Structure 1
Amino acid sequence: MNSSYVSYFTLAAYFDTGGFKYLYFLLILSLYVFIVCANVLLVVVICVNRSLHEPMYLFLVSLFVNELYGSTGLFPFLLVQILSDIHTVSAPFCFLQIYCGYTYCGVEFTNLAVMSYDRYLSICYPLQYHTHMTSNKVAVLITITWSLPFFGVFVTTALSASLQLCGNIINKVYCDNYYIIKLACYHPLINNVYELVAVFLTVCVPVCVILYTYMRILKVCFSGSKQTRQKAVSTCTPHLASLINFFFGSLFQMLQSRFNTSSVPNMLEIFLSLYFLTCQPIFNPVMYGLNMSKIRLMCQSLLSRSVLGGCCNFSHRSGPGPLSR
């Protein structure tokens, strides 16, 4: 039958948690609230402070916005499914979730590659940095970071939506394009070839850029001064930590999709499948907020002003008490 006749998909990875589902709901909701608050706070801090309007921080804004985008494409859906007794999802929404998840991953990899290129220019060519990294170039890089994955994943999703499917059961807690392709009635050669090309452009090319830039950075560090090494460590540590975290999360996802994981406990399997979509939006604001002194000081200043402002407004509204007269 054609995929147009598949009106819904069943997510078979969910299992009965009994009364614990409310605990899981509160846990997921708390994580989502933290992700939204942390990433929005950092975006606001960078946008309202003109001293942070530098290429490195603008790329960070792009990264934090992507974390908000990716987590919003997953967490509200998880919250509904946790409380639901029937774990089904309509076909249009399933393909929309696939589109959101894959574009999030593509933007994440591309953004991390652009940030590594920015760090490479800053460390290897400090005197020519502002000549190379102009405002126009920053705008072009951010545009490419978002436009290429959105266009590439659109084609991937359209090809999957046109497949003839012989089933509607997805053995996962959210929709995944790889599992849709496994439901195809015939071997989708075009889909597989295009996915290889898309993976090469959105994963392999950014990884090559990252490896090349860090090889050059290491070369400069080994031959440079102590000040150069300290600058490299301070600016590259959060980026490297974010990159490693996302790489291992993606690796867990790939291994789970390609290999039989029936021997893995259900809770662990679900955690590994959600790791790269949940931990990265939590990890990035914490890592960059704590490690980058400018952002940390601005956050402290903004929060302290908000607290003091609230206290002053409260005192002003209260006025002098009767005993003070």
Structure 2
Amino acid sequence: MDYEHNLTHIRVAGYVELNKFRHFFFCIMFVVYSLILCSNFTIVYLICVHKDLHKPMYTFIAALLLNCCVFSTTVYPKLLIDFLSEEQIISYSACLFQFFMFYCGSGSEFLLLAAMAYDRYVSICKPLRYAAIMKKKNIIVLLIFACLIPPLHISVLTILSSKAKICKFDLNGIFCNNTMYKLHCLRSKFLTIFGVVALVDLSILPMLFTVFTYTKIFIISYQSCKEFRRKAAETCFPHLLVLFSFSCLVFYDVIIARVDSDIPETLRFTMTLQMILYHPLFNPFIYGLKMKEISKYLKKILCRAKRTENV
């Protein structure tokens, strides 16, 4: 590649053994991506068509699953193209766009989980005031907040990165996340400081709020009757599982992906794949199996499918 070509295109250098297993990787990732879209949209469809699921908690679940689809679509189509391409490259502008969408989705995920935690807190700890607090207007405000705050933060990082001078043209990863910063000749102090601000605002504070809220719920439920504790656990446990799963993803992205270390390429490639494999599949199965109302409608769909096959 000549210098001018390098200014607009970056080589995605995080793949290992791609020539040997490119078709195997493509098939696996295509199946996974199809499962992610089908499973997430199935739950969203059930929530939309059944009126008894038109409640704040299920509205937030639907928003979370739609965000999960956007998050996956930011990464998977480019991966599938790379698996079948002789040369894995991406334009710097496309890389910036992928970076922007990836972290907007991540930030929205944490904010939606925080909104769900607040909804559970009001429902369990202040049931008499639930209808007054979780009105349709307030739900819309929380959803808009979760959708707009991340782009406001990440757009600043994206604009600063677009103006940074590039000295390296090999991306040590398989998609444009924080590893993109290593392409810069010199990372500005403002970019570093604002990156920390975005991390705190979009990840750490919402996560701490969510943990604090569920801790308060469990303390109150522990002081109540056994039936109350059971109901609290049933509604809160799936959200905590999703929070734990996504926090692990962010931990890897922030701590491991940004550190220059001697991690073997195969291990880095495997861990990065796991990061984008588990969580998008985790959400719909957790909410589909653990939330009784959703699970009930899923079972009905499966029963109808079996009857159709038998006929």
Task: Quickly name the TM-score band, shorter chain normalised.
Answer: over 0.9
Counterpart contact for 1:124–1:217, Cα < 8 Å? yes
Give the whole-Å Cα distance in 2 for the aligned partners of 1:254 and 1:187.
16
- Matched residue SS, 2:11: strand
Structure 1, unpaired ranges of 5+: 316-325
Taking every aligned residue pair, what percent have the same amino acid on both sides?
30
CA distance change for structure 1 residues 82 and 261 in 2, over 3 Å: closer, same or farther? farther
- Matched residue SS, 2:10: strand
Partner of 2:205: 205
Counterpart contact for 2:168–2:182, Cα < 8 Å? no
Counterpart contact for 1:249–1:272, Cα < 8 Å? no
CA distance change for structure 1 residues 3 and 18 in 2, over 3 Å: closer, same or farther? closer
Paired letter, 1:246: F
Give the whole-Å Cα distance in 1 for the aligned partners of 2:156 and 2:286.
34
1:262 paired with 2:259, answer: no
Paired letter, 2:233: V
Paired letter, 2:57: M
Counterpart contact for 2:164–2:187, Cα < 8 Å? no
Give the whole-Å Cα distance in 1 for the aligned partners of 2:151 and 2:273.
21
Cα deviation for residue 261 of structure 1 reads: 4.2
Partner of 2:28: 27
Instruction: Name the Cα RMSD after superposition.
Output: 2.1
Cα deviation for residue 204 of structure 1 reads: 1.9
Segment drifting more, 233-242 vs 295-304: 295-304
- Matched residue SS, 1:18: helix
Structure number, greater radius of gyration: 1
Counterpart contact for 1:3–1:165, Cα < 8 Å? no
Partner of 1:226: 226
Paired letter, 2:198: A
Partner of 2:138: 137
Partner of 1:73: 74
Partner of 1:146: 147
- Matched residue SS, 1:9: strand
Deviations for 1:154-202, whole angstroms, at most 9, x for unmatched residues? 12111111111212211111112x3332222223111111111111110
Give the TM-score normalised by the residue count of structure 2.
0.93
Partner of 1:56: 57
1:184 paired with 2:187, answer: no
Give the whole-Å Cα distance in 1 for the aligned partners of 2:132 and 2:124.
14
Counterpart contact for 1:163–1:184, Cα < 8 Å? yes
Paired letter, 1:198: A
Paired letter, 1:221: S
- Matched residue SS, 1:185: coil
Cα deviation for residue 39 of structure 1 reads: 0.5
Give the whole-Å Cα distance in 2 for the aligned partners of 1:5 and 1:172.
17
Partner of 2:243: 243
Give the whole-Å Cα distance in 2 for the aligned partners of 1:152 and 1:97.
15
Give the TM-score normalised by the residue count of structure 1.
0.89
CA distance change for structure 1 residues 18 and 276 in 2, over 3 Å: closer, same or farther? closer
Cα deviation for residue 131 of structure 1 reads: 1.5
Counterpart contact for 1:45–1:302, Cα < 8 Å? no
Counterpart contact for 1:7–1:91, Cα < 8 Å? yes
- Counting only pairs closer than 5 Å after superposition, residues 1-12 of structure 1 correspond to structure 2 as 6-12=7-13
1:193 paired with 2:218, answer: no
Counterpart contact for 1:3–1:163, Cα < 8 Å? no
The aligned length equals 309
Give the whole-Å Cα distance in 2 for the aligned partners of 1:202 and 1:230.
31
Paired letter, 2:297: M
Structure 2, unpaired ranges of 5+: none
Counterpart contact for 2:114–2:207, Cα < 8 Å? yes
Segment drifting more, 66-75 vs 295-304: 295-304
